[in-house]
Structure 1
Amino acid sequence: MNRPARAARAPIVWDIVTSSVLLAVGVVIAGALTVFAFFLVFASDSCGSGGTVCDTGRMGAGFLVALLGPAIVTLAAIVVAIVLMVLRRVSFWIPIAGIVLTVLVWLAGAGLVVSGVPGATF
């Protein structure tokens, strides 16, 4: 018994264009957040002065999360979106979710950095 060949899906042009533009926006946002992560080092300015003892381990972990997290999330979003586009599935929501998750990961890292400084607020 031969099965009839499945008809190939047509490419979804609007989705490919939208996904590509949103992926580019996501890369720019991830790059900006990576640059902003370097400014988190200034949170340690009060450490050691006036008897302030900071949790440098927590601050270091938060810095790494804020520095590397956006790039990792954006790379994952790019890979998943490309796979969905190749499979001709709707993929525009992947870059949107990636952008939101990128910002949340950066904020979590920044929160960790700030929480390592006694008396600091975010």
Structure 2
Amino acid sequence: MTGQEPLPPQTSVVERSVTVLLMIVLAALVPLASFFGLFFGMASDGCVGDTPCNGGQMTAGIVLSSGAPWVVWIAALVVIIVRWVRRRRTWWVPIAALVVGAALWALGGVLAVSAVG
């Protein structure tokens, strides 16, 4: 005995297929979310006349809403690869990435819009 624990059983082909399909769907949504995140820049249209705006906060919101989907997708891909090597379930990772990415996208929108006066 070497003292090492045996590896858990291999995950099923169906479970891996579901993970790959969910990641493909997520990969299609990422560019759309990133593109629509840039539209939060239109919040600056309210910065006219005597209306004060926080440009740094607006920029942070736009960068967050347009960049977070890419970062979350890449992080999910890394987590999936690590979990596959360790023979763990991965079907839930793309779903969690969708929730986290949507929350960060919305947070970026809130930041951008709240920067206007």
With structure 1 as the length reference, what TM-score do the two structures score? 0.86
Q: Partner residue of 1:34?
A: 34
Larger radius of gyration: 1
Q: Which runs of 5+ in 2 are unaligned?
A: none
Runs of 4 or more consecutive aligned structure 1 residues displaced over 2 Å after TM superposition? 1-11
Say whether the 8 Å CA contact 2:8–2:87 is kept in structure 1.
no
User: Is the 8 Å Cα contact of residues 43 and 114 (structure 1) preserved in structure 2?
Assistant: yes
Q: 5+ unaligned residues in a row in structure 1: which ranges?
A: none
Asked if 2 retains the 8 angstrom alpha-carbon contact of 1:12 and 1:88, the reply is: no
User: CA RMSD, aligned part only?
Assistant: 2.0
1:115 and 1:3 map into 2 onto residues whose CA distance is: 57
Distance 2:50 2:5 in 1: 75
| Correspondence list, 1:15-94, <5 A | 15-47=15-47, 49-94=48-93
Q: Which residue of 2 aligns with 1:95?
A: 94
Corresponding pairs, count = 117
Look up the equivalent residue of 2:80 and give its one-letter code. Answer: A
Following TM superposition, by how much is the alpha carbon of 1:72 offset from its aligned partner in structure 2, in angstroms?
A: 0.5
The TM-score normalised by the length of structure 2 is: 0.89
Matched AA of 2:34: T
Tell me how far 1:81 sits from its aligned partner: 1.0
